Amino acid sequence: MRGRVVGTGSAVPEKILTNFDIEKLVDTNDEWIRTRTGIRERRIAGEGEYTSTFATIAAKKAMEMAEILASEIDLIIVATVTPDFPFPGTSCLVQDSINAVNATAFDISAACSGFIYGLSIADKYIKTGAIKNALVIGGEVLSKITDWSDRNTCALFGDGAGAVVLSAESGSRGILETFHKSDGSKWELLYQPAAGIRNPVTQKVIDERLMYINMQGNEVFKLAVKAMEEAAVKVLKASSMTIEDVDLFIPHQANLRIIDAVARRLGVPSEKVYINIDHYGNTSAGSIPIALDEANRKGIIKEGNNIILDAFGGGLTWGAVSICW
């Protein structure tokens, strides 16, 4: 038995914030943002829209495609660093919204690699025979933890969620191999300093703007390229595949220059690399499932295609998944 992706879905806010809009907030310009990151615009959650909002819509779309009832879902995993509440998990809110009464639900926090971790966990539940159907969701509302006065970070992030339904199947199609790894010694390179219990929100925290994403971008950039290459190589090898066997490479959308560098190192031709960072920016755990759903709905992915998903994020965390579609 292995987990096969039988449905995908995604949801992003309607509100678009362009680079020209960001020019009005900080000392930056469209040309810098486009050439340094590949981003042209991003989606920003409106009033009353939370991570659970987009996660729920994405989940419903994935279940509709899978033609599966909510009551048939055994496991719901939401990967996010922007949960609606510290607890309960956003996964429990999604469970409630879709009425998945027979599921167990929990969140995982692995930053931009969260969806990869979630797929790996769900696949292992399936492989042990513990469950039949899982909803794996990655979603964020990063705009709420973005410092809109910091030009080093505010142009990078966006909001949205993506989801897949994984179902137990025998045969050659489905998740082939997963790999993920962490390096906790570098946690300070990318983190949210306050709003957890170490630094609860106080006036001092607000004055020092500690509740916003803090990133040493340049360091993260270099490590991301190496780690994403490592992860992709690991799953290719474990799947007995070479890069020539890969039909579509879907990397985490953090920076177009990172994507290009990883693809170059791996030898993936650009036409096999899925890119949508220009429209959404970095949606952290949402980025890969949103891209996967877009590629699927556009008909880019065909039955039997070999797909590699590859991510890197705060933690540090990284990982990859190989799928035969």
Candidate ranges 97-105, 165-173, 214-222, 317-325; the one touching ligand UT7 (CB under 6 A): 214-222
Residue type, 151: R
One residue of 15, 28, 191, 247 binding ligand UT7 per CB under 6 A: 28
Cis ω for the linkage preceding 316 (within 30 of 0): yes
Q: Binding to ligand UT7 by residue 258, rule CB under 6 A?
A: yes
Q: Binding to ligand UT7 by residue 190, rule CB under 6 A?
A: yes
Shortest reach from residue 308's CB to ligand UT7, in Å: 17
- Give the nearer residue to ligand UT7 in terms of CB position, either 142 or 248: 142
- Could you tell me the two tokens for 49? 């829209």
Q: Binding to ligand UT7 by residue 225, rule CB under 6 A?
A: no
- Could you tell me the two tokens for 191? 């983190």
324 is an active site residue: no
Shortest reach from residue 128's CB to ligand UT7, in Å: 31
Q: Binding to ligand UT7 by residue 262, rule CB under 6 A?
A: no
User: In this structure, what DSSP letter does residue 272 have?
Assistant: G
Binding residues with ligand UT7: total (CB under 6 A)? 21
- Give the nearer residue to ligand UT7 in terms of CB position, either 94 or 224: 224
Candidate ranges 55-63, 73-81, 213-221, 294-302; the one touching ligand UT7 (CB under 6 A): 213-221
Query: Which residues lie closer than 8 Å to 187 by C-beta, 6 or more apart?
Result: 314, 315, 316
User: In this structure, what DSSP letter does residue 28 have?
Assistant: -
- Could you tell me the two tokens for 34? 């486009």
Catalytic residue among 19, 92, 112, 324: 112
One residue of 106, 191, 221, 325 binding ligand UT7 per CB under 6 A: 221
- Give the nearer residue to ligand UT7 in terms of CB position, either 15 or 186: 186
Return d(Cα 124, Cα 52) in angstroms, integer. Answer: 25
One residue of 282, 296, 306, 317 binding ligand UT7 per CB under 6 A: 282
Which spans in 165-216 are helix H?
Answer: 203-207
Q: Which helix (DSSP H) or strand (DSSP E) does residue 8 occupy?
A: strand 2-11
One residue of 158, 174, 313, 319 binding ligand UT7 per CB under 6 A: 313
Shortest reach from residue 215's CB to ligand UT7, in Å: 6
Q: Binding to ligand UT7 by residue 187, rule CB under 6 A?
A: no
Catalytic residue among 19, 214, 255, 282: 282
Of residues 101 through 160, those in contact with ligand UT7 by CB under 6 A are 112, 151-152, 155
Q: Could you tell me which of 62, 55, 44 has the C-alpha nearest to residue 11?
A: 55
Q: Binding to ligand UT7 by residue 236, rule CB under 6 A?
A: no
Q: Binding to ligand UT7 by residue 37, rule CB under 6 A?
A: yes
Residue/partner pairs of 222-225 with CB below 8 Å, 24 or more apart: 223/186, 223/189, 223/312, 223/316, 224/254, 224/255, 224/258, 224/262, 224/312, 224/318, 225/258, 225/261, 225/262, 225/265
Sheet holding 317-324, edge to edge: 174-182, 317-324, 306-313, 248-251
282 is an active site residue: yes
Q: Which helix (DSSP H) or strand (DSSP E) does residue 291 occupy?
A: helix 287-297
276 is an active site residue: no
Alpha-carbon distances of 188 from 225, 227, 247, 272, 284, rounded to whole Å: 18, 17, 36, 34, 17
Binding site residues, ligand UT7, CB under 6 A: 28, 32-33, 36-37, 112, 151-152, 155, 190, 217-218, 220-221, 224, 254-255, 258, 282, 312-313
- Which residue numbers are catalytic? 112, 252, 282
